[in-house]
Structure 1
Amino acid sequence: MIGTDTTWIDPANEDQLKAWETREGVFWAERAALFEHSLHRYDDWLLRAAGIRDGDRVLDIGCGTGSTTRAAAWLAGSGTALGVDLSSPMLSVATRSARDTGARNARFLQADAQVYRFEPETYDVLVSRTGCMFFADQYAAFANLAAALKPGGRVALLVWQHPSQNPWFTELTTALAGRELPAPPPEAPSPFALADPSRVADILTSAGFDTPECESFKEPTYWGPDVATAEHFVIGILGWLLNDLDEVGRAQALNRLCATLAAHLGPEGVTFPSAAWLVTAHKPT
């Protein structure tokens, strides 16, 4: 825990800090293996697009428990990889996992990447696997990150497409809420804050990057080996949808959820279709 000192964070991101320092961050940290495996089908696409080479210095934003940072560190060889996140519980897991796997060139920093003063023009590659959508001010955040990249630096971001293209979100939230929920506003911090390629292009070019490319990828997301595991996983992430329900309503919601999960149970466990943009760009030389 970081205590009460939040002078290092933009005030607009304090709600995110509270969430990731407490219940949400602890939940993710305790289930690191499941969270890291849930998106593993996207990892190769992201890392190939990043083009990490021996000697590169890599900056991984929203690194969570550090699987992408460890992979980047391995690819960087004699270089380094720095994983940045708001959550100290997740970063503790990331640090321990890097040590246990021998990723000595991976290190981790608790910081608000929207305002943190990275050493200017230091990093060769910026990566993020679904970790850069939660800034209160996307324009300020990417301007700050652009300043940290060397001229010619490369960017590879994995961000979710619109909720309508992500049944893992629409089906699970509908099951718990009993109705289809509206999509979050695009300007609000959410998993879908960068779902519009035209908005992504505006943010990145305003920050000083060249015009990005957005390539569509569709892969299954993994929620557990069985319905019981997946149910616990979903409740940990979306359980806030149950907060205002009475006992009967909660039971009905959980029944709907289990039925939805059972419908997606297959040989590989419980999986849901998903769709993401792989965003790539360069900082001009």
Structure 2
Amino acid sequence: MDLQLTNKLALVTGSTAGIGLAIARRLAAEGARVIITGRTEARLAEARAAILQETPQAEVRGVAVDFGQADEVTNLLKEVPRVDILVNNVGIFEPKPFAEIPDEDWLRFFEVNVLSGVRLARQYFPLMLAQNWGRILFISSESALQIPQEMIHYGTTKTAQLAVARGLAELTAGTAVTVNSVLPGPTASEGVEEFLKKLAGDGKTREEAEADFFAHARPSSLLKRFITPEEIANMVAYLSSPLAAATNGASVLVDGGVVRSI
């Protein structure tokens, strides 16, 4: 299937590993010109090399930015003044008991997980409306719908992303611009692999640790395994394309059936 993304300019935040890198690779493979972001030049170089190894003809460049710093986001916007596709993927998470989460953590989580996307959309969204085409995607989480008790602050920011996305979508009525959220379930990211290694260190194999996780931590999963970043990227690539014109203001689950809803 041709997703008709050739020469579209896409910015993917937090894209040197995991879901973000998988999205950047998929968009590049579809012919999009891709801008990746990360906190260090070294990670950006590694990610760019990985994309070019898979798609040698890809046009991809990196911009170093810490999305927890407003001035660095401002510099990114100056360097990348417009895009056709914005994928707000950057995010942080950290398990912590609710009573031990200080104001500083709440503010830090909102700064990175919510305001990063708001700041970028504030510049790019009006330009998309003016050209009458564009795609904005917020990579949220199933935790937006089922707030995890071990990181309530994280889940709250993921819910806030859904609200921002839906609000922006309301402003697109009658245009060819869409704004959607993608809600991954438990995904085999770098952090998850480290988590499984720790469990395996307790005498379990990786496979046993994964089975134990889905038996006790995510028993509602129908997939019964961690989702791959590539499986998330496939959905994002479709929603980024002209073929997805009729999907707007949606919260699209790619969660392996964890969320029990109709």
Q: With structure 2 as the length reference, what TM-score do the two structures score?
A: 0.50
Correspondence list, 1:200-239, <5 A: 200-202=165-167, 204=168, 214=180, 219-222=185-188, 230-232=195-197
1:146 aligns with 125
Matched residue SS, 1:126: strand
| Matches of 1:163 and 1:201, distance apart in 2 | 14
Distance change in 2, residues 1:53/1:199 (3 Å): closer
| Matches of 1:98 and 1:273, distance apart in 2 | 21
1:94 aligns with 47
The unaligned stretches of length 5 or more in structure 2 are 68-72, 93-109, 216-222, 240-246, 250-262
**Structure with the higher fraction of residues in strand conformation:** 1
Matched residue SS, 1:72: helix
| Matches of 1:217 and 1:119, distance apart in 2 | 26
C-alpha contact (below 8 Å) 2:10/2:35 kept by paired residues: yes
Distance change in 2, residues 1:68/1:220 (3 Å): same
2:212 aligns with 263
Q: Which amino acid aligns with 1:142?
A: A
Cα deviations by residue, 1:86-123 (Å, 9 ceiling, x for unpaired)? 34343122022133231531221113563221444x42
**1:137 equivalenced with 2:105 (yes/no):** no
Runs of 4+, deviation exceeding 6 Å: 276-280
Matched residue SS, 1:271: coil
RMSD of Structure 2 on Structure 1 (CA): 4.9
C-alpha contact (below 8 Å) 1:161/1:192 kept by paired residues: no
Deviates more, 1:80-89 or 1:209-218: 209-218
**1:161 equivalenced with 2:142 (yes/no):** yes
| Matches of 1:59 and 1:112, distance apart in 2 | 15
1:109 aligns with 63
Distance change in 2, residues 1:182/1:84 (3 Å): closer
Correspondence list, 1:238-257, <5 A: none
2:244 aligns with none
C-alpha contact (below 8 Å) 1:163/1:183 kept by paired residues: no
Distance change in 2, residues 1:83/1:191 (3 Å): farther
1:181 aligns with 150
Matched residue SS, 1:55: coil
Distance change in 2, residues 1:191/1:110 (3 Å): farther
| Matches of 1:230 and 1:270, distance apart in 2 | 17
**Residue of 7, 26, 47 corresponding to 1:71:** 26
Cα deviations by residue, 1:49-89 (Å, 9 ceiling, x for unpaired)? xx65222112212212333222212212xx51111233434
C-alpha contact (below 8 Å) 2:140/2:159 kept by paired residues: yes
Query: How many residues are matched?
Result: 189
